[in-house]
Structure 1
């Protein structure tokens, strides 16, 4: 059995063999082991900045709670970042940096760019909403929105700002579209399909009766399982951005 580096802790592996039909053919067995790597780096319950201090790889960084950033002295192009079972793996493609694993680490900082790994958290929400609103990949200004969401901006408030005094939004949806036109365009630009009858009727009634606002629908469509499935291929291994103010 091979695995990316694990955090220092005790582990138990449970094993049972089975045939191709899924029938167990041997009794249950287990083995325990302990990882005690001197190169292990752990975070706290706060927002930590963890500098990766070893040069040869082969160790784990566990950020713990909070929004944590791992710092690697090198350029992003010289490394490969890939989603793994537990967090992300970072592999040096050129030198002797080896392979490290990042667990409970939300951001990765290189010399030239940052990588957002929290695709199920604030950064992922910002990316999806940006793409949902304008039906395209985000431009460099995504760093501004990530910073604001990191500091408390709610997704619906971000959606409302995207819809207000934005020429690009007006070109796609019109300056004063009816609820019906707005909803039809929402299906087209976010989900890339025509409306389904039952769903369209439900949301149109919600808009007409003011049960839901347009910014609520934009944020809801953005975070819908259907849209997340469309976007995941672009961000499953994280996505690069320049930190706001850098």
Structure 2
């Protein structure tokens, strides 16, 4: 049996410390029909769907088969688990537990599990075993559990697969990530969106300053872009920096484009390209930040930088 767990609305799924997710503690007795059980908690409600539910009138223990569970806060579903197939014995064990949320998570994780994130900036913590995580919209972060000791990047191997997914693994853990932008270890974060914001920021930083980006500075600008600042806005900040001005500020438009080609693409500008970019600058159709960003994001530069970042970008 393979279960699917989905998070919504910035809800953080923490599979290793479920008490940190919220969920609260049950208030009073659950209400039920033969196909649905509802637990009201101090923070929301759990709805358990399945078949043959019943409560022992003496012990108050719950039995039945559970196929799906949702957790809601304020009438909004924050997380759900589907395809569970929990047996009556497993449901009984959960109902007898002093921590229902943790017991439920334990039962789910005993199966092969697929995790799906929602469409905002979602977080999920995973640990030992073999998991598959599908990101949604926004900037999704998978946290490699370090509640039982540090889990550093050096302890794991990160590989990009042919389908664009990434695997993060060692001898114990193996996580496959689809459309997940960040992986957080105990000592830092790896940005996997090399075709997205992180890759754009890295290329632009290297293009502007003709050097490998320093991790702290790169993280600052990636955070800015994650928060909504555009590529051209970051390019304008780089253009205005003392480092850029000391290297390029005194150059004419012709001299600037010629030097950008040499520093970014590692070659002299071809006549057609040189004439085009200089013409754009001289006419005022583009400013220097726009030319910098466009050359940085050219197919030629994307291919040149790819070997350095295809396995992810390390951020402190």
CA distance in 1, matches of 2:238, 2:168: 34
Deviations 1:36-82 (A, max 9, x none): 853222211221101014x12x2201122221000002110000011
Q: Partner residue of 1:91?
A: 169
Q: Partner residue of 1:191?
A: 265
User: How far off is 1:7 after superposition?
Assistant: 9.3
**Alignment RMSD (CA, Å):** 1.9
Extract unaligned runs of 5+ from structure 2.
5-82, 85-110, 146-150
* 2:3/2:112 contact within 8 Å kept: no
CA distance in 2, matches of 1:122, 1:138: 15
Matches within 5 A, 1:75-86: 75-84=152-161, 85-86=163-164
Query: SS state of the match for residue 199, structure 1?
Result: helix
Q: Partner residue of 1:41?
A: 115
Provide the aligned length of Structure 1 versus Structure 2.
Answer: 204
Query: SS state of the match for residue 127, structure 1?
Result: helix
Q: Partner residue of 1:162?
A: 238
CA distance in 2, matches of 1:189, 1:216: 17
Deviations 1:166-208 (A, max 9, x none): 2x223322x3321111111111111111010111111111111
TM-score calculated relative to the size of structure 2:
0.61
Structure possessing the higher radius of gyration over alpha carbons:
2
User: How far off is 1:129 after superposition?
Assistant: 0.2
CA distance in 1, matches of 2:264, 2:191: 22
* 1:48/1:69 contact within 8 Å kept: yes
TM-score calculated relative to the size of structure 1:
0.78
CA distance in 1, matches of 2:125, 2:189: 14
User: How far off is 1:154 after superposition?
Assistant: 1.3
CA distance in 1, matches of 2:301, 2:181: 22
Which runs of 4 or more aligned residues in structure 1 lie more than 6 Å from their structure 2 counterparts after TM superposition?
Answer: none
Q: Partner residue of 1:29?
A: none
Q: Partner residue of 1:205?
A: 279
Q: Partner residue of 1:59?
A: 131
Deviations 1:107-161 (A, max 9, x none): 0000001000011111111001001111111012111101111111111111111
The answer as to 2:316 corresponding to 1:238 is: no
The answer as to 2:150 corresponding to 1:72 is: no
Query: SS state of the match for residue 187, structure 2?
Result: coil
CA distance in 2, matches of 1:43, 1:159: 31
CA distance in 2, matches of 1:122, 1:172: 26
The answer as to 2:214 corresponding to 1:141 is: no
More strand by share: 2
Instruction: Between the two structures, name the one with larger relative contact order (CA 8 Å, sep ≥ 6).
Output: 1
CA distance in 2, matches of 1:151, 1:119: 17
